[in-house]
Structure 1
């Protein structure tokens, strides 16, 4: 069934309203009537676009993931030093995580109570891992990184480190400066891969 422009706008308004309500009230305490009131539409209109609160939460998380996968990285020149690319990527990730921190905390909550969501949460994480693994493979092909490293497992380890730093800082509230997060995580990435991390 074709989606009209008006239908697309209504769906987008419901997703935006759901994000506001989820971030304000948490997933468990949020009600469909709160979401529809925030979106200024009826419950019937909600069910035209989503089957449940869980489904609209998935839509909210998909939008957040798109922001985090395509956060608008600082410009890095073509052929730039690999460490500079890693640094820019880490900074963009931390900045986007900070924008979505409340949702990232809710994501962990919902993953503990919903098996389907837990599987999708794992797949979202693997999307980042696969992208980073491709970058590691390219560096190996260029002879810049230890060829004996398994790109996927290395990406899991290093991506997990950065994700946990972001979670404890922005979702749980550990008081760490973004510049320190970027510098340390970049040095650890560079050291693990055998790249020359130049002093900042």
Structure 2
């Protein structure tokens, strides 16, 4: 009997996590956080936006902090996924640079408003600070390791240590993201410019234009 009850509780938990209502609450919470900021957002604001009761909110989340933490985790995962580029030849620095820059820029543009809220919350919330750091340090670490990989194969001659180049590349993308968010039509041009600058930092010669 105890085993059956445990199995039922596990299934019930999975049902809650996979629920369309949970997804609706997350969408509503993200929208409200982005509009009002963390401090000025109340659970009542989230439930009103999601058009559900307060009791329904507590079926899925224990608190405002909990739902914000889930959203922050999703943003972190989006940035990590931006570096999971299947089908690319790791030995082709041109293709890797362009694809990575484009994916990272898209991640920034898609999450710009929420990142602003997260950055502010990270000032006073150690858990959110850890997530904020992870969003930046893990991609930077991967980028630095890739630069080391290219350098060891004499395919790159970076102008600075790998960590510094990876940090600079991330900073450039972050600086250009607001402009692309405002003018999406500039995305292709910005990706081209960022890729060219990144290749310069890597010490990889630019490709000759096609004749």
With the length of structure 2 as denominator, give the TM-score of the two structures: 0.76
Greater radius of gyration (CA): 2
Distance 1:175 1:47, change over 3 A: closer
Q: How big is each residue's C-alpha offset from its partner over 1:64-99, in whole Å with a ceiling of 9 and x where there is no partner?
A: 232233249887653563122101111122222222
Which residue in 1 is equivalent to 2:116? Answer: 105
Q: d(CA) in 2 for partners of 1:77 and 1:8? A: 32
Q: d(CA) in 2 for partners of 1:158 and 1:5? A: 41
Q: How big is each residue's C-alpha offset from its partner over 1:136-188, in whole Å with a ceiling of 9 and x where there is no partner?
A: 1221232212389533333223222222322x4257x5899222321222112
1:139 to 150, 156, 160: 150
Give how far 1:191 is off: 0.9
- Retained in 1: the 8 A contact 2:88–2:95? no
Question: Which ranges of structure 2 fall in alignment gaps of 5 or more residues?
Answer: 1-8
1:182 to 171, 191, 200: 191
- Retained in 1: the 8 A contact 2:101–2:194? yes
Question: Which ranges of structure 1 fall in alignment gaps of 5 or more residues?
Answer: none
Is the counterpart of residue 191 in structure 1 residue 200 in structure 2?
yes
RMSD over aligned CA atoms reads 3.1
Matches within 5 A, 1:99-178: 99-146=110-157, 149-166=160-177, 168-170=178-180, 173=182, 177-178=186-187
Q: How many residues align?
A: 198
Give how far 1:127 is off: 1.4
Q: How big is each residue's C-alpha offset from its partner over 1:96-124, in whole Å with a ceiling of 9 and x where there is no partner?
A: 22222221222223233434322321122
Which residue in 1 is equivalent to 2:5? Answer: none
